[in-house]
Homo-oligomer: A and B are copies of this chain.
Amino acid sequence: MTPPDLVVTDIDVPKRPRGRPRKTVDERDDGNRRHELLKVAAQLFRRKGFAATTTRDIAAAAGMQSGSPFYHFKSKDALLFAVMEEGMHTALANQHAALSQPGYAEQPPAAQLAALVHTHFAGLLGPGNDFVPVMLYEWRSLNSRQRKLLAQLIADYEALWMPVLEALHTQGQLKAPVKLARLLMLGALNWSVQWFDAKKGASVEELGDAAMALFLKES
């Protein structure tokens, strides 16, 4: 199923450099391999769920031996958290990029919302974007400390939507109470992870247009 990426990048590097990479508090950061682990973990967590994925699955998908993921992450839990954190950081960065597009502030609120919606869909449904779906669907598997840390990022993310929704509400283009509207709208978007299929049906763009048509009244 998953393409066996394996040792390809190591083919002409028979021995890795012997120098021990520096280590941070509880996780190493020698880039390549660590991020490879994050990527395959995100894939597996998404497809099979966190509890049903073994650290051996992850190691094998990254072309490692069963004990090796613990060189990069101190526990399976820490791996999950790192996946989610990367997902939220990317999502936040994407939205900030959309919001700082030149001329964005001058656009009507409906166009601003369209930008948020399209960016959200793209980050959620684009190829290889397993990080955010994992964060949406494995919330339960976090301990309360991890949950609190991520809740802050999520709050930041949702805060970006509020001024736009309030402007739309004031203009009469959004009739539902703003906070409930935000919850329902993000729910509609997030649920798409369950049914969206890039290979058939609507495209990400058509989805965004449909969502806008569904949510907004004519101005």
Chain A residues with CB under 8 Å of chain B are: 47-52, 137, 139-141, 174-177, 180-181, 183-192, 194-195, 202, 206-207, 210-211, 213-215, 217-218
Question: Which of B49, B177, B191, B206 is A186 in contact with, Cβ under 8 Å?
Answer: B191
Contact B214 A176 (CB under 8 A): yes
21 CB-based A-B contacts, threshold 8 Å: A49-B140, A50-B51, A51-B51, A51-B52, A174-B214, A175-B213, A177-B210, A180-B206, A180-B207, A183-B191, A183-B192, A183-B195, A184-B188, A184-B192, A184-B211, A185-B188, A185-B214, A187-B189, A187-B192, A188-B188, A190-B191
Q: Which residue of B lies closest to A206 (CB)?
A: B180
Question: A207 contacts which chain B residues (CB < 8 A)?
Answer: 180
Q: Which residue of B lies closest to A139 (CB)?
A: B194
Question: A180 contacts which chain B residues (CB < 8 A)?
Answer: 202, 206-207, 210, 214
This chain: copies in complex: 2
Distance of A49 from chain B, by nearest CB (Å): 6
Question: A50 contacts which chain B residues (CB < 8 A)?
Answer: 49, 51-52
Distance of A144 from chain B, by nearest CB (Å): 14
Inter-chain CA distance A60–B173, complex, in Å, is 52
Contact B181 A140 (CB under 8 A): no
Inter-chain CA distance A190–B191, complex, in Å, is 8
Q: Which residue of B lies closest to A192 (CB)?
A: B187
Distance of A205 from chain B, by nearest CB (Å): 12
7 smallest CB-CB distances across A and B, nearest first, come from A187-B191, A51-B51, A188-B188, A180-B210, A176-B214, A51-B52, A176-B213
Contact A48 B140 (CB under 8 A): yes
Question: A174 contacts which chain B residues (CB < 8 A)?
Answer: 214
Inter-chain CA distance A139–B175, complex, in Å, is 34
Inter-chain CA distance A184–B208, complex, in Å, is 10
Question: Which of B51, B177, B189, B192 is A49 in contact with, Cβ under 8 Å?
Answer: B51
